[in-house]
């Protein structure tokens, strides 16, 4: 099923959310998609000292105006790209709002730090909830100096970023990894980028998932066997796409290898669930490690996503 060609991005006025906005806007411009910006906030109600003993909600007029100001700033920041823009302030928990909205968009983009509506918890809540529960693919954009991305290198915030030239995709033989590979191929074609498929086999140092293997087992042969299995899958996709795909199989966990490769990549692509080296990817410790430590944006493809 084809998804709407609209990028959804959460903004809150923080430098990191504006960095994610830059990424989202440049992506929309490259794909000739529209961009929808949302600033969400939530306020608790409290028991009012009223005669009827009812409840009263805090007056959020000032916060609404603040959200509108954030959206005006965001619109002005990316208006030069001539991307169709829409914006809305929404009430509700930012993570819940974006997850609910994700069913109506082709891509969602979030940053890793925030303030205001995101109360310094994007990484713990929004950027974890979106990969795990979002309906559309999600890009989590790290806010670090020289992190991979799509904006020009003379941004006033000094956070130099660049176009996508190398894409790394995690492959483990699971159905979700195959979906991720399809998306990675699509992105490689869009950006005319090099594509590298990576698989991790944690067999070394006696402290891995395969530490129970007898000493006489040839660990190099285990890696070779995984490489052969990976080649079968990647060969099929490479032939269908008419696009060369580099393959890398190394000793290590998926989180370790993807994080390491992120320093030389402009985009990581992973499935939201997997097995083997990527078991529980982006729902457990592996995902959190990748999202916490990746030096470049991470594109997460949910299981339910269909390539449009």
- Residue (of 68, 71, 67, 91) closest to 79 by Cα position: 71
C-beta neighbour count of 224 within 10 angstroms: 13
Contact predicate 13/65, CB 8 Å: no
With cut-offs at 50, 70 and 90, classify the pLDDT of residue 222. Answer: confident
Residue 55: inside a domain: no
Q: Which of 152, 182, 198 is the last residue of a domain?
A: 152
Range of the domain at 83: 1-45+60-152
Residue 203: inside a domain: yes
Residue 169: inside a domain: yes
Averaged confidence pLDDT in the chain: 78
**Token duo for residue 87:** 């914006």
* pLDDT exceeds 70 at position 119: no
**Token duo for residue 60:** 């959020």
Q: Which of 118, 152, 186 is the last residue of a domain?
A: 152
Out of 88-92, 95-99, 113-117, 123-127, pick the least confident: 113-117
Cα–Cα distance, 142 to 149 (Å, whole number): 9
Query: Is 148 in the same domain as 191?
Result: no
* Residue range 250-290, pLDDT digits in tens: 887 777 888 899 999 999 998 876 444 444 444 445 556 67
* Residue range 28-72, pLDDT digits in tens: 999 999 999 999 887 665 544 544 555 555 567 878 888 899 999
Query: Is 254 in the same domain as 110?
Result: no
Query: Is 170 in the same domain as 124?
Result: no
The enclosing domain of 109 has a CATH number of 3.40.50.620
pLDDT, position 146: 43
Radius of gyration of the chain (CA): 21
Cα–Cα distance, 31 to 74 (Å, whole number): 20
Residue 94: inside a domain: yes
The total domain count for the chain is 2
Out of 73-77, 84-88, 160-164, 250-254, pick the least confident: 160-164
With cut-offs at 50, 70 and 90, classify the pLDDT of residue 117. Answer: very low
Query: Is 3 in the same domain as 147?
Result: yes
Cα–Cα distance, 22 to 117 (Å, whole number): 19
How many residues can be counted in the chain? 308
Query: Is 185 in the same domain as 126?
Result: no
Q: Which of 132, 152, 172 is the last residue of a domain?
A: 152
Residue 196: inside a domain: yes
Query: Is 5 in the same domain as 70?
Result: yes
Query: Is 119 in the same domain as 210?
Result: no
With cut-offs at 50, 70 and 90, classify the pLDDT of residue 113. Answer: low
Cα–Cα distance, 56 to 169 (Å, whole number): 50
Residue 66: inside a domain: yes
With cut-offs at 50, 70 and 90, classify the pLDDT of residue 172. Answer: confident
Contact predicate 101/8, CB 8 Å: yes
Query: Is 30 in the same domain as 140?
Result: yes
For the residues 126-154, what does the mean pLDDT come to?
Answer: 68
């Amino acid at each position: 099923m084809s998804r709407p060609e609209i990028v959804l991005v959460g903004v809150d006025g923080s430098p990191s959310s504006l960095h994610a906005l830059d990424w989202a806007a440049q992506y929309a411009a490259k794909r000739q998609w529209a961009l929808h910006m949302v600033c969400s906030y939530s306020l608790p109600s409290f028991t009012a000292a009223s005669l009827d003993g009812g409840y009263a909600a805090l007056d959020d007029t000032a916060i609404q105006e603040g959200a509108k100001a954030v959206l005006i700033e965001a619109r002005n920041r990316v208006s030069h790209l001539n991307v169709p823009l829409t914006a809305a302030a929404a009430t509700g928990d930012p993570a819940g709002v974006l997850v609910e909205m994700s069913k109506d968009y082709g891509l969602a983009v979030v940053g890793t730090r925030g303030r205001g509506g995101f109360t310094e918890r994007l990484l713990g809540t929004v950027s974890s909830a979106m990969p795990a529960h979002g309906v559309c693919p999600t890009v989590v954009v790290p806010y670090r100096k020289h992190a991979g991305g799509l904006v020009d290198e003379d941004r006033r915030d000094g956070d130099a970023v660049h176009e996508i030239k190398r894409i790394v995709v995690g492959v483990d033989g699971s159905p979700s990894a195959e979906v991720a590979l399809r998306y990675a191929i699509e992105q490689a074609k869009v950006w005319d980028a090099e594509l590298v498929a990576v698989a991790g086999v944690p067999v070394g140092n006696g402290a891995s998932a395969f530490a129970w293997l007898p000493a006489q087992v040839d660990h190099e042969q285990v890696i070779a066997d995984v490489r052969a299995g990976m080649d079968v899958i990647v060969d099929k996709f490479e032939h269908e796409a008419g696009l060369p795909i580099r393959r890398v199989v190394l000793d290590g966990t998926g989180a370790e290898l993807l994080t390491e490769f992120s320093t030389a990549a402009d985009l990581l692509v992973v499935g939201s669930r997997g097995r083997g080296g990527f078991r529980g990817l982006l729902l457990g410790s592996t995902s959190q490690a990748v999202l916490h430590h990746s030096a470049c944006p991470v594109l997460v493809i949910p299981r339910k996503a269909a390539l449009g």
